[in-house]
Structure formats: structure tokens, C-alpha cells
């Protein structure tokens, strides 16, 4: 291990991203700490010495824990660990975090410079996607992230199991989603969870309850906080020989007494950014691609949201599974153009 180093920028994008930091540590965004400059100052004066994670691709504590020689050399001197990483990680071929185990409630899959992270806070949903030292996921509350969710075209948030958690989880460090398991091995992330209902409103009468901004909806028998059936996802970074393309497989188990009055169950597989989904999958109407721009009260609150939606009509009260594949490309404009051409050729249907 080399130890001689020169001064470095401890807020380098290789170790710090203001969006990741402010979204993951919600106590940061208070009062005047609501600009990139203020968040950076907080990192330099507090977050580093506290051993907080600065970005989706680096965590000083995890970096030290990963390598026994660093444990011996630095202990809990996180500034020294960051300086060592920035100076030597390329020449010594070291990673800034683990890609095979959980660490302080987080796990990360990695391949070819693309990092995908999830946390227990967000029910195993992807709350970080990092490439080229840039964070692409907005994870301020539990309704964002890269995540599976489903609802109906008629009642919307009345029946809305959401992977990351419910509306009342808000920016809290916990979720009403129950995680059965999350596994990460190298470039693959996989999870099985029981999703929280976005708005778990108790029935106001025997037949109806108000859960969608004043709209009266049929009461859900046994309606409670968490959906009774599991949702399973598997993400593979690098697929069909394309390094900058990753595959997102969503497996929805649909059960319980969904309303039967001429509606469609809308399955978001998933909701996030920069997507391509092959046609010819099991949907009762054509797949829907939608996008929105939401402006927040600060730099970390603004987000662009893309939905990949499949529609199925409920058929009685039985239990069924629906599996969908979505492909994402990330990189420069030329990278993404090439990637999309390759994946549409490899998976034409």
C-alpha cells in the first residue's frame, strides 16, 4: 500500500455528489443547507469526519472495511482514507465500496463504471444510479427512486403498492415496505419485497374511503399498510454484450380483491429515466411511456420522472404473476444511441 500522497479535493466528484448526499442524509437539508454549495460545505466540515457516505460510488467507512491494510493504516481516519482513495485507487485497482454484501443498510451492484445502489430505507428500491461521477436518481422521499409500483387507471392511489414505501414514510429513514431479501453479486441486484400502499387510508364506511384527493373509492376488504403479495425484481448491469445497457426484470404478483368495475391495473416496470422496453409483452393495451418534470423547493427536489407502464385487466380474485423486461442505456449521447440500436437489434420483440 502506498501512503505518500499530495493534497486532493476532498469534495471531488469521485467521492462526493451533493444530490446523493442531501437526499440520503435528510437532516442536511435544513434552513440554509439547501444549495449545492452549502451541502458541499456540510460534507467538508461534518460529513467526512462523521464517516457519512458522500456518493453512490464511494463510502469511506466501507472503503476502509473492505481492505485490511487500510483498516490498519487509517482506523477511523476518514479524511486520510478519502485522500488515499483519490490518490491511489486507480494505480492500486481498489473499489470505493463493496459489491457483494450489505453495509450500513446499503448494497451496490457494479459493472464497467456503472453503480446501482439500494437501501433498507427505500425498501430495496434503487435509490442511486451513478455513472461518470454523476448521480442520476432523485431519492428525496419514498415516491421517487427507480422502483416498481402499480395502481389502477381509475382509482390511482387507492390501490398503489409502491416499492420504496408509502406517502407517510416521506423523508423518514424507515419504510412500511417489508423487505424479504435483497441480494447483490457483482453486476446483479435482486430483491423480493412486500410493498407498502402509497396511501394506507382506513375505510370511512363499509363501502367507500377517500384516498385520492377527495375522490371516493370502493373500500378494499382488509385494506392495510402493506400489500399481501410479493414483488420481485432483478437488475443486471451489462446485458446482451452491451456494457452500458442494463436489464430490469419486474415480476408483479397481483392478488386480493381489486375493484372489478371496468378498470386496468397499471404496472410501472419501473418508474425512472432513459428507458427502452421491447414490444410484444403481456399487456392488454400498448405499453405507455410517459415523462414529467417536477420542480422542487431546492436543487435536490427537482426531478424528471419517466414511467414504463403495462396494463392488465383484473380477472376475479385469483393470484397471477406478470413479468416485464425493460432495458436502460446510460452514457453520452453517442453511447446511448449506439446502445439503443444494439439492444433493439438483440431484443426486437
Taking only the tens place, the pLDDT of each residue in 229-243 is: 999 999 999 999 999
Residue with cell 459489491: 99
What's the confidence (pLDDT) of residue 289? 55
Asked whether the whole model's pTM tops 0.75, one would answer yes
Helix (H, G, I), strand (E, B) or coil at 252: strand
Lowest mean pLDDT among 35-49, 55-69, 204-218: 204-218
Write down the pLDDT at residue 205.
Answer: 46
In tens, the pLDDT along 169-204 reads 887 888 999 999 999 999 999 999 999 988 765 545
More confident residue, 141 or 68: 68
Q: Which domains does the chain have, with CATH numbers?
A: 18-55+60-92 (no CATH), 106-346 (2.70.98)
Q: 117 Cβ partners below 8 Å, 6+ apart?
A: 56, 106, 107, 108, 109, 126, 127, 128, 129, 130
Rounded Cα–Cα distance for residues 22 and 103 (Å): 19
Amino acid at each position: 500500500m502506498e501512503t505518500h500522497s499530495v493534497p486532493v479535493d476532498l469534495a471531488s466528484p469521485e467521492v462526493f455528489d451533493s444530490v446523493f448526499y442531501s437526499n440520503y442524509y435528510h437532516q442536511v437539508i435544513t434552513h440554509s443547507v439547501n444549495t449545492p454549495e452549502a451541502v458541499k460545505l456540510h460534507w467538508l466540515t461534518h460529513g467526512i469526519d462523521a464517516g457519512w457516505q458522500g456518493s453512490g460510488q464511494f463510502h469511506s467507512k466501507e472503503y476502509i472495511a473492505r481492505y485490511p491494510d487500510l483498516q490498519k493504516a487509517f482506523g477511523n481516519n476518514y479524511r486520510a482514507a478519502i485522500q488515499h482513495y483519490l490518490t491511489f485507487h486507480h494505480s492500486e485497482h481498489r473499489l470505493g465500496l463493496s459489491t457483494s454484501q450489505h453495509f450500513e443498510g446499503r448494497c451496490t451492484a457494479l459493472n464497467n463504471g456503472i453503480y446501482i445502489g439500494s437501501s433498507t430505507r427505500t425498501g430495496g428500491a434503487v435509490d442511486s444510479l451513478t455513472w461518470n461521477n454523476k448521480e442520476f436518481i432523485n431519492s428525496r422521499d419514498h415516491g421517487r427512486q427507480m422502483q416498481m409500483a402499480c395502481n389502477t387507471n381509475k382509482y390511482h392511489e387507492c390501490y398503489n403498492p409502491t416499492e420504496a414505501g408509502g406517502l407517510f414514510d416521506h423523508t423518514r429513514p424507515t419504510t412500511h415496505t417489508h423487505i424479504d431479501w435483497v441480494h447483490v453479486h457483482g453486476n446483479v441486484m435482486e430483491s423480493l419485497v412486500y410493498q407498502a400502499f402509497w396511501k394506507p387510508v382506513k375505510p370511512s364506511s363499509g363501502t367507500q374511503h377517500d384516498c385520492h384527493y377527495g375522490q371516493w373509492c370502493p373500500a378494499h376488504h382488509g385494506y392495510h399498510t402493506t400489500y399481501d403479495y410479493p414483488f420481485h425484481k432483478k437488475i443486471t448491469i451489462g446485458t446482451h454484450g452491451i456494457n452500458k445497457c442494463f436489464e430490469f426484470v419486474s415480476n408483479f404478483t397481483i392478488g386480493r380483491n381489486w375493484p372489478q368495475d371496468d378498470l386496468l391495473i397499471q404496472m410501472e416496470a419501473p418508474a425512472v429515466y432513459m428507458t427502452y422496453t421491447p414490444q410484444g409483452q403481456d399487456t392488454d393495451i400498448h405499453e405507455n411511456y410517459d415523462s414529467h418534470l417536477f420542480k422542487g423547493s431546492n436543487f435536490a427536489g427537482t426531478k424528471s420522472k419517466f414511467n414504463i407502464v403495462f396494463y392488465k385487466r383484473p380477472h376475479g380474485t385469483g393470484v397471477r404473476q406478470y413479468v416485464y423486461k425493460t432495458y436502460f442505456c446510460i452514457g453520452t449521447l453517442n453511447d446511448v444511441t449506439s446502445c439503443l440500436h444494439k439492444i433493439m437489434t438483440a431484443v426486437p420483440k
